[in-house]
Amino acid sequence: MQPIKLVIAETQYLIIEGLQSIFKRYSDLQVVGVMVNKEDLFTNLNLLNPDIVVIDPLNLEDFRVDDISTLETVCPGTRILIITDISNTDIVRKIVEIGAKGYLTKTCDEKEIIDAIHALVRGEKMYCHKVVNILLEGQNQEVENCEPTLLSEREIEIIRLIANGYTTRQIADTLFRSFHTITTHRKNIMKKLGINSTSELLVYAMNTGLIQPREQLASNK
């Protein structure tokens, strides 16, 4: 099995060293390049042909947020994993809209970074909890450091179904997955969000815009 090829695009030495140290511990990951500015990144991208570009678009020399969309054009098949700080929600939305498949903050730990890489390789999107909230709530405000909680597209889909009154069996049938798989997803969702009941999950879904109040009322009729 071929390793997942990674390019790190970052200017902060400590962040680069930290990421390299993490990736060296996994036999299925291979760092094929480290780029500290836009010119080096675009010059070497086709040659290196990475599976994932791990990038801080707000910190890379000469790099603009709009350049994210160019990355996938220059090297089709390469997925973008943003690891940066969050300061403004408009920037968060723009980064996601123009092509970033993964978005974490620098408060996320090793496991969450590795999980995000594997999710992107599987073709899933992976955003930390605060990014999900920003995308769903449509808020326009400065935000604080986010908790490093990751929700996959599948987990968000399951949350919507739970909030709209689906049982675990109905969700399994709807998504063509086993009862055990959906049960495991539910446990993981509860753990990630730090909640203990379906009612708390319903409140979360309504507060984040995953469902509208009228949808929940309709599901209870």
Confidence (pLDDT) at 199: 61
Please calculate the CA angle 208-132-218 and round it to the nearest 5 degrees: 35
Q: What is the mean pLDDT of residues 158-162?
A: 87
Which structure tokens are listed for 50?
């990475």
Determine the pLDDT at residue 221: 39
Please count the other Cβ atoms lying within 10 Å of the Cβ belonging to residue 14.
8
Residue extent(s) of CATH 3.40.50.2300 domains in the chain: 4-148
8 Å CB contact between 81 and 112: no
8 A C-beta contact, residue 22 and residue 110: yes
Q: Is the pLDDT of residue 57 over 80?
A: yes
Mean pLDDT on 55-63: 89
With cut-offs at 50, 70 and 90, classify the pLDDT of residue 206: low
Give the domain 152-219 fold: Arc Repressor Mutant, subunit A (1.10.10)
Q: Which of 6-15, 128-137, 211-220 shows the lowest mean pLDDT across its residues?
A: 211-220
Look at the domain 4-148 and name its fold: Rossmann fold (3.40.50)
Q: Which residues contact 83 (CB under 8 A, 6 or more apart)?
A: 15, 19, 54, 55, 56, 104, 105, 106, 108, 113
Closest CA to 107 of 143, 144, 148, 166: 148
pLDDT tens sequence across 72-104:
788 888 999 999 988 788 888 888 878 787 899
pLDDT in tens, 103-156: 998 888 898 899 889 988 987 778 887 777 676 654 334 334 444 456 788 888
Contacts of 94 (CB under 8 A, 6+ apart): 65
Give the pLDDT score at 212.
52
- The boundaries of every CATH 1.10.10.10 domain in the chain are 152-219
Mean predicted confidence (pLDDT) in 192-214: 68
Name the token pair of 117. 């890489």
Whole-structure pTM value: 0.65
CA separation for the pair 56, 10 (Å, rounded) = 6
**β pairing state of 126-128 and 150-152:** antiparallel
